[in-house]
Chain A
Amino acid sequence: DVKVTQSSRYLVKRTGEKVFLECVQDMDHENMFWYRQDPGLGLRLIYFSYDVKMKEKGDIPEGYSVSREKKERFSLILESASTNQTSMYLCASSPPERVRGAFFGQGTRLTVV
């Protein structure tokens, strides 16, 4: 089975802190994604990457950056955390060929105080 592992289930950070969310997948997938999920808004794409060192902005990239130095690891960085970034963050990965669906991690519930 594909496994996508996010480094933390729950995080509490202070406003202005730099926050790193880590995601590792074990299936050699080329594509990796970061979403945030908020009540009433659904899942919204922040950034995605289709190859090492490649990244593309999603629908809501403001206030975030990403890093993909190795194929299996995709990091989401909140440069200066703000309270409106309190959310559930979900990482996903997928293979590039005829689509078989993206596989999600368990999520990180981030609270910024």
Chain B
Amino acid sequence: EDQVTQSPEALRLQEGESSSLNCSYTVSGLRGLFWYRQDPGKGPEFLFTLYSAGEEKEKERLKATLTKKESFLHITAPKPEDSATYLCAVQAAGSYQLTFGKGTKLSVIP
């Protein structure tokens, strides 16, 4: 059974204080790993797809990396508008569906 565990559950950062969110996964053949951002009361917004170990993707202050067992979402010099819940999901080879972690709620304090 595919599993995704995200840590920490919640993270409070001062504005400008860089940090990382973790996503550990077990899957029978990784087809893709995804990061999403979700604001309260809204649907998840797609951020990145990573396909293989060693791959990295960047978007503004966010950088996602992937190893064979986990992915990190690095946030550099965060701003209050980066406050959201960040979700990680995996898709197994031969599967249509995504398995999601429970998310990390990030709060960036001015």
Q: Which A residues have a C-beta under 8 Å from some C-beta of B?
A: 4, 31, 33, 40-43, 45, 48, 50, 56, 58, 90, 92, 98-107, 109
Contact = CB atoms under 8 A, between A and B. Distances in A.
A35 to B, nearest CB: 8
A98 B49 CA distance: 10
Interface residues of B, dominant DSSP: strand
Contacts, number: 54
A104 B45 contact: yes
8 contacts: A31-B96, A45-B97, A58-B97, A99-B32, A101-B49, A104-B36, A104-B43, A107-B43
B98 interface: yes
Given A33-B97, A42-B101, A48-B97, 10 more contacts: A4-B43, A40-B102, A42-B102, A43-B44, A45-B98, A90-B44, A98-B51, A102-B34, A104-B43, A105-B43
B44 A104 contact: yes
B41 A43 contact: no
Interface size grouping (class) on chain B? 20 to 34
A41 B102 contact: yes
A107 B97 contact: no
A41 B99 CA distance: 12
Contacts of A107: 41-43
Contacts of A50: 96
B100 interface: yes
Among A33, A42, A98, A107, residue most surrounded by chain B Cβ atoms (within 10 Å): A42
